[in-house]
Chains A and B, each alone.
Chain A
Amino acid sequence: MTEQIGGSADGRRSERLRLGRRSILKWAFIAAASGAMGALAKPVLGAARQSPEDKAHQHTVAQAIGDTEKRVRRWAMIIDLRSCDGCQSVGKPPQCTQACVQGHYAPEPMEWIETYEAELPGGGTQFIPTPCQQCQNSPCTNVCPVGATFHSPEGIVLIDQERCIGCRICMEACPYDRRFFNWGQPTQPPETIFQTYNPENQSPAYKGTVMKCNFCPHMARSGRLPYCAQACPNNAIYYGDLEEDLATNGVQVVQFSRFASYNSSYHLKEDLGTEPRVYYIPGYGQNVGRNPYKKGRKPTVWSWQRSSDGGETWTR
């Protein structure tokens, strides 16, 4: 009896001792392993951290804050559908789309600003030029696993194609169908080789990454309107700054907020709560004398297709 008790107590003590040694060894091992991991990981992580995003952020922050006396612009757009006839009157493809393609060298078949033709409730159609809506509660930036798509300080949604991994979950998330993927090696005109890439011009384009309208902040900062607004023959696109509450279509300067409310502006899919920066004034081109029952628009042209080689095109 006593032997047994003594024996078990001994056993317990030795077990405790063994456990103590084991846990010391374990912690020593964990400490050594994590130290080694840290030492190995640091140069790798450090090198990677340097690259694309910081570059993009530095670029936008410097441009946005430094150049404009520490006031941050909040770029926004009003599209007056009363003046949009899908360029039927000029007999050309929608000039906003066309100018955007030419200015950004957008690979075929990307139409960063696409002119949709929507049915009107009473029959007939209206044209809706649709750039990226620059949502302030943007579903696309929320889901990006690597932070390749992000809000610039000016509130614009940009994509860093040097970081994008091409998972396309942002395309799934975008409710406006405003994101485009480089399914193959994109075709661009030869002059793109002179460009240095940054997220605000997205060119040269990278295979396997997502692209979209970037709202032309580089144009605005140098005092020009975006390509689409410049090219619109009916001056239907107003571009401006919510901070200064001003917008212009190149002919006329308006007070952004009043112009938007006095003309009953709305957002696309307002019920989703994405808070877009693009405002629409309802209409079907009546200001430029369009007959709503005249349907159809001309297809967009990518003029450099013949002069580029090594790239591929696809259909949407």
Chain B
Amino acid sequence: MDTVRMQGEHANHAHPGVTPEWRERLERRVLRPLAGSSPAYFAWVGFLVAVLLWAFYAYSQQWDRGLIVTGMRDRISWGVYIISFVFFIGISHAGTLLSAILRVTKARWQLSITRMAEFITVVALMVGALFPLIDLGRPDRVLNMIFYGRWQSPLLWDVLAICTYLTGSAIYLVLPLIPDFALCRDRLGPTAPRWKRLFFTVAAVGWTGTEAQRKALDRALTIMMIVIIPVAVSVHTVVSWIFAMTLREGMNSTIFGPYFVAGAIYSGIAAIILLMAVLRRLLRLEEYVTRTQFLCLGYMLGAFALIMAYANLNEYVTVGYKMAGEAGFHFEQLMVGMFSVQFWFYIIGGMIVPGLIILFPQTRNVKGICVAAVLVLIAMWIERYLIVAAGFRVPLMPYEPASYSPTWVEWSILAGAFAQFALIISVAVKLFPMVSVWEVVEHRGPEPGSVPMADLEPQRAPEPRSLPERSGV
């Protein structure tokens, strides 16, 4: 009885192009990973856990002997940890951009990837927020931040902003999950483990899709998507302020806030491109994550490449024109000196090449856009390396410029952070539907030009997959 009414209501809200068969296929495809796992999956998780354990071992060394096991010293006193902190907080902007900014503008093409983007946000924040703690000389006293916290310190602003952002984006992740939890509760068969079905029953908080529930969810989503945007901007602004609030050359600058926000969104777009390419392949979501999504994100990547190039031009032309004192030293070490290889990789590999890939129709395809995304991610890590390591290298007093090379401990902990990121996503894939089914059904419908994928359920005969893939824009 209940089910009949619910389905009737859903049908009323569904997008005009949605047929029952299409919808059935979508639900099967999205819920399939939740039903069971292959040995390859467990091997992958085992590998990630091994990397993570290695990172724990590295950290135990640091806990034991102190930060002396890192390459940091008095003059370059921040390194890989703070660089990676900025990097991970940066890619967390993927979710906000896709699901909040685009939702506000009523765009619909992104609906099939918002879930992944929101996961990137939450997981990247969880990983990134650990780095300042790893970086502490006295991790045993971390609670002093609460007992004696001073609001005048940029680090406290970071703590506040990141906690707010993590809370907000977690709420924003869970809200649109509720109807999908209900879907899992109703559709997952007895093959799924009992605890999973119990989990979905609890997580669905009694969602049946009544008008009142839909209205409440819609209002909550509207509020959250507007609230989360200024929070996201503030997060990366205050991250930049831990640098910009000091008198150091190359950091004491007003452009740092917007520059960091732009860089964060830039790397966030690259992160979502990469994750959706991987998940679309592994979860066989090609029918829902099509060229359309890649192209739209590719265009945004291109636009942000231009914004970043413009910001860099502003930053370095104004300094290089005058070559004043310490600023001149910094300019020289970036352009032709110690950091020139990294700098020019950042400029060429991180902005010019991705921009050209997006510019030319020959390379503007799924593969090309993925290459651009990987380049951008590497380049944006290096950009933060240049800000921290090169910025700190500028001598403050008459002494020989210091040098910094990260040790195996720092690299291991960085590898552990990536493993942690991948591990949480891998576990999430088995617990949460990675496509927001109800939103796609209600607001998007079938992707234009997408090819129906063969269902991989064993009892069904596979359909031929010889049809050519066409542009979906």
Q: Which residues of A contact B (CB under 8 A)?
A: 45, 48-49, 53, 114, 116-119, 128, 130, 139, 142-148, 163-169, 171-177, 179-185, 206-210, 272, 312, 314-316
Contact = CB atoms under 8 A, between A and B. Distances in A.
Contacts of B145: 145-146, 165
Contacts of B68: 183-184, 312, 314
Q: Which of B72, B136, B153 has the most CB of A within 10 A?
A: B153
A45 B171 CA distance: 30
A199 B396 CA distance: 26
A192 to B, nearest CB: 18
Contacts of A49: 147
Top 8 closest A-B pairs, CB basis?
Answer: A166-B137, A208-B137, A184-B68, A145-B155, A145-B153, A183-B68, A118-B398, A166-B138
Given A172-B77, A312-B65, A165 B248 contact: no
A177 B75 contact: yes
B77 to A, nearest CB: 5
B109 to A, nearest CB: 37
B462 interface: no
Contacts of B107: none
B228 interface: no
A231 B399 CA distance: 24
Contacts of A139: 246-247
Contact of A208 (B66, B153, B159, B399): B66
A177 B67 CA distance: 19
B67 A208 contact: yes
If over half of A's interface residues share one DSSP class (helix, strand or loop), that class is named, otherwise mixed; here it is loop
B322 interface: no
Given A168-B137, A175-B396, 7 more contacts: A48-B144, A143-B152, A145-B145, A180-B74, A181-B67, A208-B138, A316-B74
Nearest to A181: B74
Contacts of B155: 143, 145, 167, 169
A239 to B, nearest CB: 22
Given A48-B147, A167-B132, A116 B398 contact: yes
B43 interface: no
Given A176-B397, A207-B66, A168 B245 contact: no
A176 B74 CA distance: 12
B137 A207 contact: yes
If over half of B's interface residues share one DSSP class (helix, strand or loop), that class is named, otherwise mixed; here it is loop
B73 A172 contact: no
A160 B42 CA distance: 49
A60 to B, nearest CB: 17
B150 A185 contact: no
B136 A184 contact: no
Nearest to A144: B153
Which interface class (under 10, 10 to 19, 20 to 34, 35 or more) fits B? 35 or more
B242 interface: yes
A296 to B, nearest CB: 13
A118 B399 CA distance: 8
Contacts of B147: 45, 48-49, 146
A314 B150 contact: no
Contacts of B75: 177, 316
B226 interface: no
A117 to B, nearest CB: 6
Contacts of B67: 166, 181, 183-184, 208
A169 B398 contact: no
Given A116-B399, A183-B72, A169 B65 contact: no
Contacts of B77: 168, 171-172, 181
Nearest to A168: B77
A166 B338 CA distance: 29
Nearest to B156: A145
A159 B142 CA distance: 17
18 contacts: A48-B143, A48-B144, A116-B397, A116-B399, A128-B398, A139-B246, A143-B153, A146-B147, A148-B148, A169-B154, A172-B246, A173-B245, A177-B395, A182-B66, A183-B73, A184-B65, A185-B65, A210-B137
B148 A164 contact: no
A270 B75 CA distance: 21
Contacts of A185: 65-66
Contacts of A209: 137-138
A315 B402 CA distance: 10
B74 A171 contact: yes
B216 to A, nearest CB: 12
B332 interface: no
Nearest to A142: B152
Contacts of A181: 67, 73-74, 77, 137
A235 to B, nearest CB: 24
